[in-house]
Amino acid sequence: MDFSAVKALTFDVFGTVVDWRTSIAREVDAFARSHGLGLDGHAFADAWRSLYQPSMEEVRSGARPWTRLDDLHRESLLTLLDRFGVTGIPEEEIDRLNRAWHRLDPWPDVVEGLTRLKSKFVIATLSNGNVALMVNMAKRAGLPWDAILGAEVARAYKPQPRAYEAAAELLGLAPAQCMMVAAHNADLHAAAKSGLRTAFVARPTEHGPGQTRDLAVEPGIELAADSFTDLADKLGC
């Protein structure tokens, strides 16, 4: 398949670039130890993530005005602390735990792969994470983005078309000159509907050892890779 027209790669981040589940579990376990709580970090991480799409859907549906992901995450965290029976935590410590999403670790292949891909393409985030979250994550993890784009910039949460279209516009490119890279087939199908090219990178343990979805690329996605370094190989970087 000919990808010679592609000038930019736009990346989903949570799950594709960073291992959110392991990272959040680590932070929750540390939080639990410091407060003498019997929380299971992985169970808490899964519960927190389960509120991710429902919280954004309230914004996508127009039920509430634009709200950045940091604020949605904090609302979800308060819900979970109550559900898990955790009380009496100072506000500043709740804020620190909420910012665990700013401190997610990349998958092992990511920094090398992004560095190689950057030698040939513009590389940018196209995440539902807000700008401060993406910047802080990149600074900590050494992610060499050329631009931070996505939901907050577009004022639209994926999979709304505007999220994808705005990224191409801001890069001064046609959608077909951008390739969306993600570990989630649904994200890629939505990007394709907006005219972007598509590449699937498998992350079979994003949701833990029992993951059942997004284990393989689906029909209609143009390129599949096992890692960012494999993607770099396939795109000639």
Distance CA 171, CA 124 (A): 9
The residues of the chain that CATH labels 1.10.150.240 are: 20-102
Name the CATH topology of 20-102.
DNA polymerase; domain 1 (1.10.150)
User: So what's the pLDDT on residue 61?
Assistant: 96
Q: Which residues contact 75 (CB under 8 A, 6 or more apart)?
A: 55
1 pLDDT higher than 90: no
Burial 26-60 (b: 16+ CB within 10 A, else e): bbbbebbeeeebebebbebbebbbebbeebbeebb
Model confidence over 186-197: pLDDT tens digits?
999 999 999 999
Residue 181 · residue 199 · CB < 8 Å: yes
- Both tokens assigned to 231: 């993607």
- What superfamily would CATH give domain 8-19+105-234? HAD superfamily/HAD-like (3.40.50.1000)
Model confidence over 130-179: pLDDT tens digits?
999 999 999 999 999 999 999 999 999 999 999 999 999 999 999 999 99
Model confidence over 83-139: pLDDT tens digits?
999 999 999 999 999 999 999 999 999 999 999 999 999 999 999 999 999 999 999
Mean pLDDT, the chain, whole residue set: 97
User: So what's the pLDDT on residue 70?
Assistant: 98
**Comparing C-alpha atoms, which of 134, 131, 121, 122 is closest to residue 13?**
134
Residue 128 · residue 14 · CB < 8 Å: yes
DSSP string computed for 175-216: GGGEEEEES-HHHHHHHHHTT-EEEEE--TTTT-TT--SSSS
The residues of the chain that CATH labels 3.40.50.1000 are: 8-19+105-234
Q: At what angle do helices 20-35 and 41-50 cross, to 10 degrees?
A: 120
Q: Which residues, listed in sequence order, are joined to residue 14 by a DSSP beta bridge? A: 18
pTM, entire model: 0.96
